[in-house]
């Protein structure tokens, strides 16, 4: 043995051994510091207050703590002896609950309490004694209630259903422009969750069609109109470079399953696709349909639901839906294949599962739970059977993606612009949704309405405004510079 320590291997240089000893000492010290902080009785009390709040308000936890807390103790990956629980939870009234939680801590005797808007719009953070205690994310009420109906209760605290937790992890794994440094951790957690909460559906999937059936489209004597519409819509979408992720995409994946489990691609016009210009693509599809004699195609815009189902455009003939063209939420991964000599972009299985599991919890008339969950289970099985087949359509961690992934700089620019827009609306609900900064005991200051904004026939400018109008130009410039400086300082505090 070259060195008198088990921390160093014989092939290490003296300097490498010394660094290995240093790293070990750092790890030991950090763990002791964490353990000391967690064992602090005050921290225990702070966490107990939060957990009681979660039970009382019936809010729904998500993220790493949610996954950890629904697992058997032997499978849990957080050590509560050395880690303070990091509670992320959903609320249909996120800002109100953040303020209410801050008030609760203040009433319990904690003076250093703050509720503030997070970096992402719709998220709020609560700090107690300068320690981040809670992250609250807004979720539309209908979606919140849908999750609540399947939530898992542990000691009275509600945790997101396994399928929704899965959806969030598939979303991360399908975004190569996101924080890929988290992928290893996310995949490990997904594997553990799948082991203890297997993917399960309550339908006889052998009897479920993966593609929508057409009822309103009649037949031609020579060629079915359905076939004509199918070819026209498919080819137009391919020409526009969209990414397929619906029933058509699922059926293409079926060639990688055993023969008995394969689903043939029926020549039925049923497409769900992603495009950065969804309205334009939908319009072009309608134009090409008109070229082949289908004059009654209609387009309808569908509004987004939270941040899980994006804005999309529905193309239909009569009551029959031909396609949904979605605007990407982020940058979703896809692979390229050849179909009849043409390049076709198909979403990765992680991309498909992200959308299917999101659709499960959105109660819209054109999302059929049996079809969605059977397609999701089928794709889950395809992925499990081919986990190491990293080529072609089965390449899982593709670097190609459709859509724009918002960066921290993008978010800061958006908030900066919003700050300027709402500068004269401090204290309003809209302003606080973006820039809440609330400390109990300190009222949120509202900006006074401009006195010169009176209606016609009302009082004129206030004396101070009249004086300002008569002030020398140099004084006006000085005031403008001072106002600009104040705004810059406010922005710097906002993003500090």
Q: What's the pLDDT tens digit per position in 161-180?
A: 999 999 999 999 999 999 99
Q: Given this model, what pLDDT does residue 422 score?
A: 92
Strand, coil or helix: 403: coil
Tell me phi and psi for residue 13, to 5 degrees.
-80, 170
In the CATH hierarchy, which fold is given to the domain comprising 205-402? Beta Polymerase; domain 2 (3.30.460)
Residues 6+ apart with CB under 8 A from 111: none
pLDDT at position 471 is: 41
CA angle 204, 205, 210 (to 5 degrees): 145
Please tell me if the domain spanning 14-161+187-195 has the same topology as the one spanning 205-402: yes
Residues 21, 23, 24, 30, CA torsion sign: positive
Distances (CA, A) of 465 to 97, 413, 450, 476, 484: 40, 32, 10, 12, 19
- Token look-up 């290490």 returns 12
pLDDT per residue as tens digits for the range 296-318: 999 999 999 988 899 999 999 98
Q: What is the DSSP string of 100-120?
A: HHHHHHHHTT--SEEEEE-SS
Domain range summary for the chain, segments of one domain joined by +: 14-161+187-195, 205-402, 459-496
| Residues 11-48: tens digit of each pLDDT | 888 788 888 888 888 877 776 666 555 557 888 899 99
Alpha carbon 206 to its chain's center: 32
Q: How far is 243 from 275, CA to CA, in rounded Å?
A: 7
Query: Which CATH number fits the domain 14-161+187-195, given the four candidates 3.30.460.60, 3.30.70.1140, 3.40.50.1820, 3.40.50.10320?
Result: 3.30.460.60
Is the Cβ–Cβ distance between 366 and 294 less than 8 Å? no
Q: ∠ CA 295-298-299 to the nearest 5 degrees?
A: 140
- In this prediction, residues 77-104 reach a mean pLDDT of 90
The pLDDT of residue 134: 96
Secondary structure E strands in 139-270: 152-154, 157-159, 243-244
Q: How many CB atoms lie within 10 A of CB 218?
A: 9
What is the residue-wise DSSP string for 371-384? Answer: HHHHHHHHHHHHHH
In this structure, the dihedral spanned by the alpha carbons of residues 15, 19, 20 and 26, taken in order and rounded to 10 degrees, is 170
Count the neighbouring beta carbons within 10 Å of the beta carbon of residue 238.
Answer: 17
pLDDT greater at residue 494 or residue 97:
97
Q: Where would I find the H helices in 39-126?
A: 41-57, 63-70, 94-107
Return the higher-pLDDT residue of 21 and 495.
Answer: 21
What is the per-residue pLDDT across 471-486, written as a single tens digit (0 to 9) for each? 444 555 555 566 556 5
């Amino acid at each position: 043995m070259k060195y008198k320590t088990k921390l160093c291997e014989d092939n290490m240089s003296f300097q490498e051994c010394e660094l290995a000893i240093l790293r070990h000492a750092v790890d030991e010290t950090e763990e002791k510091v964490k353990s000391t902080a967690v064992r602090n009785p005050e921290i225990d009390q702070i966490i107990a207050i939060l957990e009681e709040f979660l039970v009382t308000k019936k809010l729904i936890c998500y993220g790493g703590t949610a996954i950890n807390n629904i697992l058997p103790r032997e499978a849990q990956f957080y050590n509560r002896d050395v880690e303070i629980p990091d509670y992320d939870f959903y609320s249909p009234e996120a800002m109100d609950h953040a303020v209410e939680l801050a008030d609760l801590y203040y009433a319990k005797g904690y003076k250093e309490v703050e509720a503030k808007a997070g970096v992402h719009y719709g998220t709020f953070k609560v700090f107690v004694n300068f320690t981040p205690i809670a992250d609250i994310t807004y979720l539309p009420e209908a979606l919140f209630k849908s999750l609540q109906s399947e939530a898992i209760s542990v000691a009275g605290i509600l945790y997101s259903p396994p399928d929704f937790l899965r959806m969030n992890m598939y979303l991360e794994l399908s975004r190569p422009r996101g924080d890929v440094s988290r992928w290893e951790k996310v995949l490990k957690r997904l594997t553990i969750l799948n082991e203890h909460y297997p993917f399960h559906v309550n339908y006889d999937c052998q009897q479920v069609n993966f593609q929508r059936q057409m009822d309103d489209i009649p037949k031609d004597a020579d060629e079915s109109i359905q076939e004509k519409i199918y070819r026209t819509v498919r080819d137009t979408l391919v020409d526009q470079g969209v990414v397929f992720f619906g029933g058509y995409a699922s059926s293409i994946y079926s060639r990688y399953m055993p023969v008995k489990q394969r689903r043939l691609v029926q020549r039925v016009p049923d497409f769900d696709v992603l495009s950065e210009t969804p309205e334009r693509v939908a319009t072009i599809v309608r134009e090409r349909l008109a070229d082949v004699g289908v004059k009654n195609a209609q387009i309808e815009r569908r509004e987004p639901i939270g941040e899980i189902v994006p804005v999309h455009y529905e193309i239909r003939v009569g009551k029959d839906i031909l396609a949904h063209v979605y605007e990407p939420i982020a940058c979703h991964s896809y692979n390229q294949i050849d179909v009849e000599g043409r390049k076709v972009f198909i979403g990765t299985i992680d991309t498909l599962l992200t959308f299917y599991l999101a659709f499960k919890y959105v109660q819209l008339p054109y999302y059929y739970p049996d079809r969605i969950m059977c397609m999701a289970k089928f794709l889950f099985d395809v992925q499990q059977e081919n986990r190491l087949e990293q080529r072609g359509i089965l390449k899982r961690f593709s670097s190609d993606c459709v859509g724009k992934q918002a960066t921290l700089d993008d978010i800061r620019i958006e908030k900066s612009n919003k700050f300027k827009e709402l500068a004269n609306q401090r204290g309003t609900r809209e302003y606080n949704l973006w820039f809440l900064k609330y400390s109990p005991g300190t009222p949120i200051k509202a900006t006074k309405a401009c006195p010169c904004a009176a209606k016609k026939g009302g009082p004129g400018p206030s004396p101070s405004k009249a004086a300002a109008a008569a002030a020398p130009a140099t004084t006006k410039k000085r005031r403008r510079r001072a106002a600009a400086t104040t705004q810059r300082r406010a922005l710097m505090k906002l993003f500090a």
